[in-house]
């Protein structure tokens, strides 16, 4: 597996983590001591996840010629 393939795996894992973190923030927001900052961070995390997906697509396009091996 080349660095290109491993990077795609890593970006996918990071996206899942950021989505999970966003869900964790929203759970806190709707919990007993929820604060506005939890909602802001939750929304920020979802935006970051979208950013990572866009970056992943850009990366694949940029390194189209390089092998996955």
Partner 1 sequence: MEIPYVVQPRQDTGLYNAKVGIWLFLASEVMLFGALFSSYIILRIGAAPGEWPVGLLNVWIGMGNTLVLITSSITVVLAWASLKMNNFAKFKVYQGFTILLAMTFVVIKSFEYTDKFTHYEVVLQDNTIYDGHLKERTPTHVVIHGHKVEHGRHAEGEAHGSKTPHTDIRIERAQIKKMENYGPWHNTYLAIYFTLTALHALHVIGGAVVIGYLWGPGSKLWKTDPERFTNRIEISGLFWHFVDLVWIFLFPVLYLL
Q: Does 62 bind partner 1 (CB under 8 A)?
A: yes
Dist. CA 16–CA 9, nearest whole Å: 11
30: three-class secondary structure by DSSP: coil
Q: Does 36 bind partner 1 (CB under 8 A)?
A: no
Rg of the chain over all Cα atoms, to the nearest angstrom: 16
Whether 11 contacts 1, CB under 8 Å: no
Q: Does 64 bind partner 1 (CB under 8 A)?
A: no
Whether 14 contacts 52, CB under 8 Å: yes
Residue closer to partner 1 by CB (options 14, 46) is 14
Q: Does 43 bind partner 1 (CB under 8 A)?
A: no
Binding site for partner 1 (CB under 8 A): 1-4, 6-7, 9-11, 13-14, 17, 20-21, 24, 33, 52, 55, 59, 62-63, 66-67, 69
């Amino acid at each position: 597996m080349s660095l290109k393939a491993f990077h795609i795996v890593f970006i996918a894992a990071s996206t899942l983590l950021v989505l999970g973190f966003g869900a964790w923030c929203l759970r806190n927001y709707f919990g007993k001591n929820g604060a506005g900052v939890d909602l802001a961070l939750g929304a920020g995390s979802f935006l970051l996840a979208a950013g990572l997906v866009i970056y992943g697509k850009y990366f694949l396009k940029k390194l189209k010629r390089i092998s996955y091996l």
